[in-house]
């Protein structure tokens, strides 16, 4: 089951981690991660899709 953006944000708060910190740890551009979390980018293709999968917003393709 996929997470919601709100769930991801709550996890960051609980872990004391910023979006930028997570992005750096996972080698993604900060702006791209923010765009996926805040819904500016749906994460359907390419890097945004990889970000969405890494965040748990989308299920990993089989």
Place of tokens 């748990």: 56
- Would you kindly state where each structural domain of the chain is located, as residue ranges? 5-55
16 sits in the region (left: phi over 0; alpha: psi -120 to 50; else beta) called left
* pLDDT confidence bin for 1, thresholds 50/70/90: low
- 61 pLDDT higher than 80: no
Radius of gyration of the chain (CA): 11
Q: Report yes or no: 23 and 30 within 8 Å, Cβ to Cβ.
A: yes
Looking at residue 4, what is its pLDDT?
92
Q: What's the pLDDT at 29?
A: 97
pLDDT in tens, 8-50: 999 999 999 999 999 999 999 999 999 999 999 998 999 999 9
């Amino acid at each position: 089951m996929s997470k919601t953006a709100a769930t991801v944000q709550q996890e960051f708060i609980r872990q004391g981690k910023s979006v930028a910190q997570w992005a750096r740890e996972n080698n993604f551009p900060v702006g791209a991660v923010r765009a996926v979390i805040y819904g500016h980018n749906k994460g359907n293709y390419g890097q945004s899709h990889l970000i969405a999968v890494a965040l748990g917003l989308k299920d990993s393709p089989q």
